[in-house]
Amino acid sequence: MAEYAIRELGGYGLSHLLLMGNTTDFTGTPLEPLTGDGMFRHFRAIFRGTLIANVNMTAERGNRLIEEGVADMVAFGRPYIANPDLVERLAIGAPLAPVDWDTVYAAGPRGYSDYPTLEPVVG
């Protein structure tokens, strides 16, 4: 069923398809082959438009998926929450700040725009 829908979406001239990888444990189920990069590999063969891979992305994984042709782009969701300067951090190999899960979807401003950026390196 999902294969049919995604194949049909390819004919609608969409700008892209954002495909989320698994967020649950598929071990021991018929969906186990879709674990890890399996979801992207499976649907890349079906969807010929621009495919954006998402969920548990790192710079290394994202670059590999693009180099292998499994994805055209990657999206970083959760890392952006705690790293407003994510692009810079990835570019220089800086560590990522952890998400404060107690503030995600909470009332008030804490956790939305108060994560610190990297301190400039003074040389």
For residues 77 and 121, the model is more confident at 77
Range of the domain at 33: 2-75
Q: Which residues are CB-contacts of 59 (< 8 A; sequence separation ≥ 6)?
A: 90
Confidence bin at 85 (pLDDT 50/70/90) = very high
**For residue 76, pLDDT beyond 70:** yes
Whether 19 maps to a domain, the answer reads: yes
Residues 43, 108: Cα–Cα separation, whole Å: 39
Confidence bin at 123 (pLDDT 50/70/90) = low
Number of structural domains the chain divides into: 1
- pTM for the whole thing? 0.84
Whether 20 maps to a domain, the answer reads: yes
Q: What is the CA radius of gyration of the chain?
A: 17
Q: What pLDDT, on the 0 to 100 scale, is given for residue 122?
A: 65
Whether 104 maps to a domain, the answer reads: no
- Reported as a single tens digit per residue, the pLDDT across 35-75 is 999 999 999 999 989 999 999 999 999 999 999 999 999 99
Q: What is the mean pLDDT of the chain?
A: 90
Whether 114 maps to a domain, the answer reads: no
Whether 48 maps to a domain, the answer reads: yes
Residues 68, 77: Cα–Cα separation, whole Å: 22
Whether 102 maps to a domain, the answer reads: no
Q: What pLDDT, on the 0 to 100 scale, is given for residue 35?
A: 93
Q: What pLDDT, on the 0 to 100 scale, is given for residue 1?
A: 74
CA distances from 88 to 32, 54, 69, 93, 119 (A): 35, 19, 24, 8, 12
Whether 82 maps to a domain, the answer reads: no
Average pLDDT over residues 88-101: 91
Residues 23, 112: Cα–Cα separation, whole Å: 23
